Structure 1
């Protein structure tokens, strides 16, 4: 029994930036193994965009692990707080979203989270259910439980205050409302990104202030780096892998990450156990090609968000494109906007001398895209990764935003 508990605690701590209250988490897991009593884990998501990427899935994966060891997940959609906007890490006041925008985005979340979480132990909650009921009196009482001085301990607020940049009162309300969520849900553990520490600590403070006989533990996860391996995964930086990306695009993006970043992805978003991961790393140290391990990661991720048959097809397509001896390994790679005209791409990158030459090559059947002939001279590239080939020696790898 103790061996299983130790293994559970090791998996729970896997990839974590910081844990506050580890002893309490340990007691919750021990109680689950002793008598099957489950505990409450919350993570909040403000539906500020209509879909999720693999960076968001880091928290979802950690919650899925916690489910295995006794957690009932409260997947909290901040339809109330989303209209404020989380000020964490922001240098200016965020634009508020309308109720309609928030609810529209929230609906897409509901269909995406169960790609990872077990529905039997997951409840999707909306914080408007209890925050709408607070009313004016409740808001005043909530505000009275925290001081302005405490708020200004927060790095982003302190910086803006020092630089004489505006901070709205409503932004002060955001961490208080997030903290009150922990009171309403009677959380045992709250998960969040490591940029959320202040907000997460407010939850502990609020639980004490409202007289709960518990104080939630905090589990903070790092921000997953995007395809560039430097910046956090972000749609605005266009370095993301979307959960709704098509199989070929998702597989190709994962295969494009560096070998070092691959291990980071394994640690944070793979279901491969720590024990098996250590064995895989040992094999690579002994000479196994990391590309083979990256293929397994890409297959796992595509299978999760689509299915195994589509992952198998994506793997076959990728090998057809990139693994044939006729295609060089060191292809020039460029980024273009979605809906780019194929002839313009060929001319801009000196594969063809002119649009008329590009048209003639396409009509003659000389152009291949991802290994297949393209005869449509008006073809426009949609989102994805492509290898363009004219003849035997002209190649171009294109990433379409």
Structure 2
């Protein structure tokens, strides 16, 4: 374990991007003085509910990495039982449960992405099935006896659903208890998570003394908003950036973020010093610093985090060429065409949109353009879903702000996604 950490390092762990530390002085003391000579066991519970993670997930991963850099052990518990129930946190209705097979497949991809940020050598991975597969009905009844229905219904998301007449399943009431028991099984010293997990983390802290363990420390981090600048980043809202998004795509999407959300992204996804952030905020407020300059710095820093500085620099140069100089991207997917095809059909088959309804919506909103000769000097806004795309070699389709497709002949290419 790393000895005598600098106070500034500890303050960064406790403050940067943090919303709540339940017993801050206790955790500060543990980080300063040590834990009986042993690394702290810093728990993160993950339900692999989807195969693709977002940069929103990276916020808590980065916080876990900060603990590792102080010499502590990351303990990741894969919720192969709770994912089958569905986490009710922050939900206005029940989450669809997953099969054991889906959970296992998602978890493999989840961990691959997780290790892009967190040190594999300082990480212990555990599965809930290690202990819950051994649970008897007596164990379940004993666990249920530690919380009352009134305590559960006091939780915000449950209270809203209860007063709105939206069903709450008994299995959902079990979820916080199962997550809390994970802390007992792992003998966690600290548990971290997003602010939507505060209730669940507190349940673990309450359960541990019942089982003769010290109560875990709790630290929650900001939940960053999505690209709409209002709602929490999430795949269901289509306002997210995939953690594995290519550099150019990630950079371009970051540049579409509303200005007011930049500070949160800087704090949670970069290591730019707080003093610099304060100075940039002050200068923008005074009108002496263009927010576009700050946003480019933000995008470059975040892309560097996931892809490295060279990829970030190349992505910025590509963005400048494409948007500042009004040029089309040099590289884009190719679509072979031998005869005219309906625009809606093409958009769906080329996987530029998820459905025909989404294609029609984009067209109605003016979000689809056609460059018949592959140059910005001539552009045609597609205004009807009946438009037929001609098989013009080199023609380009633009969908939204960031997606492009070049028409080509079958002999020179095959479909790419």
TM-score, normalization by structure 2: 0.78
Please give the residue correspondences for 1:88-103 in structure 2 after superposition, counting only pairs within 5 Å.
Answer: 88-103=89-104
TM-fit CA distance, 1:75: 2.0
CA contact (8 A) 2:93 2:166 kept: yes
Residue of structure 2 equivalent to 1:53: 54
Describe the shift of the 1:296–1:56 C-alpha distance in structure 2 as closer, same or farther (beyond 3 A).
Answer: same
TM-fit CA distance, 1:284: 5.0
Equivalent-residue separation in structure 2 for 1:310 and 1:175 (angstroms): 41
* Match for residue 5 of structure 1 among 4, 7, 13: 7
Residue of structure 2 equivalent to 1:220: 220
Please give the residue correspondences for 1:91-170 in structure 2 after superposition, counting only pairs within 5 Å.
Answer: 91-170=92-171
Alpha-carbon deviations, 1:111-165, whole Å to 9, x = none?
1112211222222222222221223232222122222222222222233334443
Residue of structure 2 equivalent to 1:25: 27
Equivalent-residue separation in structure 2 for 1:349 and 1:178 (angstroms): 46
Equivalent-residue separation in structure 1 for 2:75 and 2:171 (angstroms): 25
Describe the shift of the 1:375–1:5 C-alpha distance in structure 2 as closer, same or farther (beyond 3 A).
Answer: farther
Residue of structure 2 equivalent to 1:339: 352
Question: Over the residues paired in the alignment, what is the CA RMSD in angstroms?
Answer: 3.5
Equivalent-residue separation in structure 1 for 2:302 and 2:171 (angstroms): 39
CA contact (8 A) 1:58 1:221 kept: yes
Describe the shift of the 1:299–1:351 C-alpha distance in structure 2 as closer, same or farther (beyond 3 A).
Answer: closer
CA contact (8 A) 2:373 2:396 kept: no
Residue of structure 1 equivalent to 2:307: 306
Residue of structure 1 equivalent to 2:249: 249
Describe the shift of the 1:278–1:71 C-alpha distance in structure 2 as closer, same or farther (beyond 3 A).
Answer: farther
Describe the shift of the 1:309–1:175 C-alpha distance in structure 2 as closer, same or farther (beyond 3 A).
Answer: same
Helix, strand or coil at the partner of 1:195 = helix
Please give the residue correspondences for 1:1-400 in structure 2 after superposition, counting only pairs within 5 Å.
Answer: 4-32=6-34, 37-212=38-213, 214-281=214-281, 287-324=288-325, 338-339=351-352, 349=366, 361-362=372-373, 376=393, 385-386=402-403
Describe the shift of the 1:135–1:316 C-alpha distance in structure 2 as closer, same or farther (beyond 3 A).
Answer: same
TM-fit CA distance, 1:48: 0.8
Alpha-carbon deviations, 1:66-113, whole Å to 9, x = none?
222243111222111100011122233332110111111111111111
TM-fit CA distance, 1:56: 1.4
Aligned length: 368
Helix, strand or coil at the partner of 2:236 = coil
TM-score, normalization by structure 1: 0.80
Helix, strand or coil at the partner of 1:115 = coil
TM-fit CA distance, 1:351: 9.0
TM-fit CA distance, 1:375: 5.8
Helix, strand or coil at the partner of 2:373 = helix
TM-fit CA distance, 1:23: 1.6
Equivalent-residue separation in structure 1 for 2:106 and 2:47 (angstroms): 9
Equivalent-residue separation in structure 1 for 2:61 and 2:157 (angstroms): 26
Equivalent-residue separation in structure 2 for 1:348 and 1:283 (angstroms): 36
